[in-house]
Chains A and B, each alone.
Chain A
Amino acid sequence: MSKHRGLRSVVAVLSALGIAASCVQACAADAVPGVSDTEVMLGGTHPFSGPASAYGVIDKGIQAYFAYVNDAGGVNGRKITYKDLDDAYSPPQALQLTKQLVEQDHVFAIFNSLGTAVNLALRPYLNENKVPQLFVSTGATTWGADALKFPWTIGFQIDYQAEAIVFGKNIAAHAPNAKVAVLFQDDDFGRDYLTGLQRGLGAIGILKSESYEVTDPDVRSQIETLKASGADTLLIAATPKFATQALVAIGQLGWKASTYLTDVAATHTVMRAAAQGGGPAATDGVTSATYLLDPANPAVANTRGIKLFKQLLAKYQPTVDPTDFLVLYGMAVAYTMVDTLKRAGKDLTREKVMDLVAHIDERDNPFMLPGIVVQTSPGDRFPIRQERLGRYADNNWQPFGPIIDARK
């Protein structure tokens, strides 16, 4: 009797699944999955829970921008639906949800799923099934570099190598006698930086590089070694926690190096913490780079992009922090997505979209710094390879100098 009951629960679960699934199967796919006369459906995953949940707000920016476009009539008569699910930053979870989005919801494309590991796990499946994996949210170099092997995948934001090239070029142009030191995280992220910096510096070369492991408690000893090398210029290719430690150590050691900080760590949180621990000397004059407008900087508050950003948030996502650049990033990538759909015209297919994302020349993305061009060609599948430098002063990043292009 008792065993019978235990069995019954299993049977119930399985049969419930069966019912749910047969309903799903009944809904046959359209000629082009996810596209009807009135709707185009995109899918994706972001971490709304778990260790990387801070990135979840990107979804708010994307949804706000799509809602704005839909209210204005959509794209070619189609409203955009974006089904964004919570993968908790777990690659297996993301793969399951993505299969569901592709096979159950019949989404047209996977858009902006976040995380290098997550997208690496999705890439073989999506490419095998010829589902576009568009504008992924990760700075790894592989999205552009391995496009021949994975033609259904394309990145978006500037890759780590390109950013390091930007820094290197600036040093080569303005301080040809610089003695350059590097602190880098000993993984693909850090090594991409090292490679890019070498390319950007050209003949100058790197005087001394020190690495750290993510398991290291502190990077102070590395900074001491780099200082002792006699370098006068320092590049920090570190994630936020270690970047903060490095800046604090620089301030405390009184090292007067001209310091470059990766975009990854150039957040207000890092800078505030570093200034607290190492004094103003730790952060004043630090150089970073970006391609986006900074919603926290009052100097750009009157630009078209920031005005639109704040207006859309007030209307569609009033609870979201209007100074969070991640939300703005979401709008920027949504803008390029909408732009691509517009260019595809009424006759929308997956093949066409993949062809279009290999021929981007977008000069008017309002959420990016004026002059930044989103650009690809079949031989260059890195949409963004330009940045403008910014110097930290008065608790803000003040953009300066021209736009630097890592391609040239």
Chain B
Amino acid sequence: MIALSRERTRHLAAVAIVAILVFAAPLVLPPYVTFELAFGGAYAIAILGLIVLTGNNGQISLGHGAFVAIGGYTVAILLQRTALPIWAAVALAPAVSGFVGVLVGAVALRLSGAYLALATFALAVTFPPTIKRFGALTGGSQGIALTSLRVPPFIAAFISSERLLYYLIWTCLALICALTWYLLAGRVGRAMRALRDHEIAAVSFGIDPVRYKSLAFGWSAAYAGIAGALLALLTSYVSPDTYSLQLSITLLIGAVLGGLGTLWGAIVGGIVIEFLPLWAQSINPAATSIVYGIALIAVMIAMPAGIAGTLTRGVRPRPATPGDRWDRTASGTCSAANGAAVRPRAEGTSRRSS
């Protein structure tokens, strides 16, 4: 029997309040904001993948846009060419992207730090031209329009397609958050973090680096694939231009801005990368990248551990000690108070690349 500590009570209260807000948001917001929040939720799922990979396993990926693309194209091609229902196509997307992710992870074993970043960057660079190359399957540069997407009339009578997708995406996000939290708090998460912090020590304790590093890549890519599938449903359209290099970079920006050390970072990061460019437009549509860049720099100076990371660490009584917030202690409570919420993102990788 696990007694609820104050810490856990607060945590549950926070989750409950956010859940209520997320549920209520589309009821009070206009449809286009609901639509944008749905994008934010999908980005959050992809960022969650980066929190697994970079935050917990210390591997940097600048190529997650490619996994998002694989998810999107899997759904688009399946819906265009087969009679599969939408849910089945969406469910297959992470399987495909996760499989590719494991393969990439196996290759990435030999690389770390900046080298790994560059290798995954190459993935993001080459993916859009590759899509164009197989035009018969992918529709080439014109992409694929998901014209078959129709909400059944008996559902459409109750809920608009924006709200339906919004609730679908945020429910997915909630389930994935719960799953991630559970796995990261257990043996798998500990093994991955041990490899991040000191590979040699971890190996000498019997942790298999091949297995866990490939697993982290596949796991993370599967999340990106789900995000890609949901984004494809949202836009009802996929094309090589949808998955530009910028997408991969934006996802990493979201993970860093949100905070790599906490799952809240994914939600904050997803919301930020969705709304920051839109906000920059309203400041000055002719200089969006400048406004965007300045905002990024400002946040990183003020909150070096990410928005969610810094806000949760700011009041922490003790400085960084080993162990992350999601490690369970012997008593079974979440040990938020005993460890650093966030490890600066470079730490896990710079050590290994030296």
Binding site for B on A (CB under 8 A): 1-11, 13-15, 17-18, 20-22, 24-25, 48-51, 83-86, 88-93, 95-97, 99-100, 102-104, 115-118, 120-121, 124, 140, 186-189, 213-215
In the complex with contacts A5-B315, A95-B235, A17-B25 CB distance below 8 A: yes
* Residues in B neighbouring A15, C-beta threshold 8 A: 21
B288 pairs with A2, CB closer than 8 A: no
B308 pairs with A90, CB closer than 8 A: no
Residues A90 and B246 in contact in the complex (CB < 8 Å), given A97-B281, A187-B140? yes
B102 at the interface (CB under 8 A from A): no
Is B180 an interface residue when CB atoms closer than 8 A count as contact?
A: no
Asked if A3 meets B246 with Cβ closer than 8 Å, knowing A9-B268, A117-B143, the reply is: no
Determine if A188 and B268 form an interchain contact, defined as CB atoms under 8 angstroms apart: no
Q: Bound state CA distance, A349 and B184, in angstroms?
A: 57
A-B contact pairs, 17 of them (CB 8 A): A9-B268, A10-B264, A17-B275, A86-B286, A88-B244, A90-B244, A92-B235, A99-B35, A103-B30, A117-B141, A117-B240, A120-B142, A121-B237, A121-B239, A186-B135, A187-B132, A214-B129
A97 vs B32: C-alpha distance in the bound complex, in angstroms? 9
Residues of A within 8 A of B86 (CB): none
* Proximity bits, B206-247, A CB within 8 Å = 1, else 0: 000000000000000000000000010011110111101011
Determine whether B39 belongs to the interface, using a CB cutoff of 8 Å to chain A: yes
> Which interface residue of A2, A3, A102, A213 has the most chain B CB atoms within 10 A?
A3
Q: Is the CB of B241 within 8 A of A188?
A: no
- B32 contacts A103, C-beta separation under 8 Å: yes
Cβ 8 A contact of A92, one of B31, B234, B268, B289: B234
B residues in contact with A24, CB < 8 Å = 30, 33
The interface residues of chain B lying within 8 Å CB-to-CB of A22 are 28
Dominant SS among interface residues on chain A = helix
* Residues on the B chain within 8 Å of A188, using CB: 140-142
**A84 / chain B contacts, CB cutoff of 8 Å:** 285
Q: Which residues of B contact A8 (CB under 8 A)?
A: 311
B301-323, CB under 8 A of A: which get 1 and which 0?
A: 00000011001111110000000
Q: Which of B1-40 contact A (CB under 8 A)?
A: 7, 10-11, 13-14, 17-18, 21-22, 25, 28-33, 35-37, 39
B130 interface residue per 8 A CB criterion? yes
CB neighbours (8 Å) of B60 from chain A are none
CB neighbours of B313 from chain A (8 A): 2
Contact A124 B242, beta carbon cutoff 8 Å: no
Taking a contact as CB atoms under 8 Å apart, the answer to whether B32 and A100 are in contact is yes
Cβ-neighbour of B271 out of A4, A13, A118, A140 (below 8 A): A13
- Specify the main secondary structure of chain B where it touches its partner: helix
**Do residues B18 and A7 form an inter-chain contact, with CB atoms below 8 A?**
yes
Most chain A beta-carbon contacts within 10 A, residue among B140, B307, B316, B341: B140
Asked if B262 is an interface residue, CB under 8 A from chain A, the answer is yes
8 shortest interchain CB distances as A-B pairs: A7-B14, A117-B239, A99-B32, A6-B312, A121-B237, A103-B32, A187-B140, A21-B29
Of the residues A50, A116, A118, contact of B246 by C-beta under 8 Å: A50
What separation, in Å, do the CA atoms of A90 and B13 have in the docked complex?
A: 38
Q: How far is the CA of A4 from the CA of B147 in the complex (A)?
A: 44
Please tell me if the beta carbons of B33 and A17 are within 8 angstroms of each other in the complex: yes
Q: Which residues of B contact A121 (CB under 8 A)?
A: 145, 235-237, 239
B173 at the interface (CB under 8 A from A): no
| A residues in contact with B336, CB < 8 Å | 2-3
Contact A85 B33 (CB under 8 A): no
Residues of A within 8 A of B242 (CB): 90-92, 117
Q: Does B267 contact A (CB under 8 A)?
A: yes
Query: Does A10 contact B267, Cβ atoms closer than 8 Å?
Result: yes
In this complex, what residue of A is CB-closest to B129? A215
Whole-angstrom CA separation of A92 from B235 in the bound complex: 6
B132/A4 in contact, CB under 8 A: no
Interface core residue of A5, A6, A48 (most chain B CB under 10 Å): A6
B29 close to A2 (CB less than 8 A) = no
Q: Tell me the bound Cα distance from A189 to B240 in angstroms.
A: 15
Chain A residues whose C-beta falls within 8 Å of the C-beta of B140 in the assembled complex: 186-188
**Contact between B239 and A120 (Cβ–Cβ < 8 Å)?**
yes
Assess whether B145 is in contact with A2, with CB atoms less than 8 Å apart.
no
B277 at the interface (CB under 8 A from A): yes
Please name the residue on chain A nearest to B28 by beta carbon.
A18
In the complex formed, the residue of B with least CB distance to A188 is B142
| CB contact between B236 and one of A21, A97, A124 (< 8 Å): that residue | A124
For the complex formed, measure the closest distance between the CB of A256 and the CB atoms of chain B, giving whole angstroms: 33
Judging by beta carbons under 8 Å apart, are B36 and A3 in contact? no
Closest to B162 in A: A99
Q: With a CB–CB cut-off of 8 A, which chain A residues contact B141?
A: 116-117, 187-189, 214
Other A-B pairs beyond A84-B285, A118-B241, 7, CB < 8 Å: A3-B14, A4-B10, A5-B314, A17-B275, A22-B28, A83-B285, A124-B236
The smallest beta-carbon distance between B273 and chain A, in angstroms, is 11
Question: Contacts of B271 on A, CB cut-off 8 Å?
Answer: 10, 13
Given A3-B11, A100-B32, A117-B242, also A91-B316 (CB < 8 A): no
